[in-house]
Each structure stands twice: as structure tokens, then as C-alpha cells.
Amino acid sequence: MFVARSIAADHKDLIHDVSYDFHGRRMATCSSDQSVKVWDKSENGEWHCTASWKTHSGSVWRVTWAHPEFGQVLASCSFDRTAAVWEEIVGESNDKQRGLSHWIKRTTLVDSRTSVTDVKFAPKHMGLMLTTCSADGVVRIYEAPDVMNLSQWSLQHEISCKLSCSCISWNPSSSRAHQPMFAVGSDDSNVTYSGKVQIYEYNENTRKYAKAETLMTVTDAVHDIAFAPNLGRSFHVLAIATKDVRIFKLVPMRKESASTGPTKLEVQIVAQFDNHNSQVWRVSWNITSTLLASSGDDGCVRLWKANYMDNWKCTGILKGDGSPLTGSSGQPTAMSTVVGSSVQTSQNALNGMSAGRIGKRAPFAPPLRQLTSPKTYQHPAYY
């Protein structure tokens, strides 16, 4: 049984994202008030704000952590058409700031001509790489050639998706059998394009990313997308937040030795849930990919788990105000937590414990990202 705790976030506007670091002991939030806040979890389980600063000149949509191997590094993206990389500096604070961490902007990425809607670091085995997607329909992949100098980033790839991009997720698989792969979701209202999710794979021969698959059955606006952690599977699992929650299985087909194109994928939909009865804003996996969390405009986070027959069922409902949600059996559900949804913008509360258990990218509705509004994923707990 988890206990829900509210955090007075002190943001002056909607919270759009919440992101946990690799260990689940730190949390970052971002908001339309143009600021990012960093929170640290104390030994007694309380969350304390250790840094807060204005990051952009527009709403900040997303914030995400790099792997700790590269230091304490954050990336943010904004309506102001830029993404930024921030690094925590220790021991350089003045007397006024003693006890507060000091974050320095290392670079601003200004290639997008429109709102930058998502930003994600690539899996750490690929090195320190950062990916952005924008409303102009372009995915950009940057690399830091020297991880000790985060002011230098080179634009490695520009991939045009032809649709306004809303979210992006890397396939975390480090298997040599799998080439680097990412999925892009679109909230484009253009009905002439039916597939709102595209899968891209890296080609060693051309040294470019090519489209491997389009999920043609996804025709509604996509708000979030998340590859499940891959613990040695030969196939990939992808969760999508649209007007409902969908889980897809992507099975690579055997390539002919002479083939130079992207790997063909057999697409299977393994689950689809409309329990939120509203737009779903975030999906997030736990570290073992056995539990999926989703958040929607109904003000709830719902937890999904598969049984031994690979049938997915709802195993918990977390209500936004922290109160237990009574199921049809009359018994309260196993968990309750704080959700940041557009319906509850006045609450501006973050859940530390429940969100942290779900993982780095706990989902939330539009206001809170990680286990709040638009999105994120991470891992601290094993299930």
C-alpha cells in the first residue's frame, strides 16, 4: 500500500512535465511559468526543492535527465523554439545560495523554427546524444563529442517526419542484434496522414536513419510514446498515449543478407484500453517493463500489468487528490497518488512516493509530466 503525498510545487502556471533521474532520488519539474525546478528526496522520504530557475522565454514542455555516468545533466525544451542543456555545479554557490545546487546553462540548441515539443537523451550505450522533435515535423539528433565539455554539441541528423511531432522515445535495447531505433508520435490534425506513429532505425551502411514502420492504425493525436525497457527480448514493446492507451509488439523480421534497408517489423497490438474515458497524456514503464502507468484527463493514473498469458489488466488506480478510488467491488484500489491534470491545475501537486515507484518517467496528465502531465520515464523501483 502506497501513501500519497502532495508537494507544494510553487510553480506559477501549469506543470507540464515531471522527470525522475536514473536512481529515482531526484526529480525535475517544468512549467508554463518558464521555469525548471529540481527536487531531492531526503532520507525520511520528503521532497525538497534544491534549485529553481527561469530557463526559457516560453512555456517549458519537457525536462529530462541524462544518465548519471555523464554527470548531473538536464535538458529542457520550450515553445520558444529552443532546447537547452543544463549542468549542476558543486561548490560554486555564494553565501545566499549555500545549500542550493547551482545549475549552469551549457548550450542552447536553436535549429528548430517552431516549438520544440520533446527532448530525450539517447540510451547511454550510444554515448551522450540528445534528440529533439518539433512542431515543424523534424527530429534532430545532437552529439556531445567531448562529454567533459557540454557547451559543444554537433547536429548529427535531421529527419523530416512530414507531420508535426509531439513526442519521441528511444528503444533502450543495447543488444547488438538491434540497430538504434526511435519512435515519434504526432498530434497533427492533418487527416490525409493516417499513421500518427513512425518508427525509425539507424542504417550502418548509409549512416542515416530511415523509416522502418508506420503504425497506420493510430489515427488520433498522440500525446506520449514510450518503448519498454528491453531485458533481452528479441522483440520491442511500445506504449502509446492517444485517446486511449495502446500497447504494441514490434517483432523484427529476419533480414536477407543482401538487404540494405531498415528492418521490417511485424506490428501486433497486444492491448487497448479506453478506461480513462478521456485523452491520455502520459505513459511510463517501470524498469522491468512489467508495469505500465498511464495518466489522463480523468484525473487518474492507471496501472496496467500483464499476466502469464500476456493478457493486460488494470491493477491499480491512483486518484489525483490522493484519496482512494473505490472500484466496482466496493473495495478501495491498492494505490492512490497525486496526478497533475488539466482538470486539477489548481492543485499543482506532485506525488513523490507513488510517482517515484513507477519510475523515471511516471505519467501524468497535461499539467504534470512524469507522473503528472505530459510525460517521462524512469525507474527506481523493481516489481
The Cα 238–Cα 247 span in angstroms is 6
Compute how many other C-beta atoms are within 10 angstroms of the C-beta atom of residue 117. Answer: 25
Are 86 and 76 in contact, with CB atoms under 8 Å apart? yes
pLDDT at 102: 87
pLDDT at 16: 93
The Cα 39–Cα 254 span in angstroms is 46
Nearest to 363 by CA among 380, 354, 351, 376: 376
Nearest to 194 by CA among 172, 216, 169, 165: 216
pLDDT at 237: 94
pLDDT at 321: 74
Predicted TM-score (pTM) of this structure: 0.81
Grid cell locating 203: 542504417
pLDDT at 343: 27
pLDDT at 255: 65
- Residue bearing cell 488539466: 342
Grid cell locating 128: 551522450
- Spacing of C-alpha 78 from chain mean position: 15
pLDDT along the chain (383 residues), means of 10: 77 93 94 95 91 94 96 96 93 54 91 96 94 95 94 94 94 85 90 83 90 92 94 90 94 69 86 92 93 92 90 88 55 36 29 31 37 38 35
* DSSP 3-state of 68: helix
* DSSP 3-state of 188: coil
pLDDT at 381: 37
Q: How many CA atoms lie within 13 Å of 98's alpha carbon, on the beta-carbon side?
A: 3
Burial class (CB in 10 A: 0-12, 13-18, 19+), 235: middle
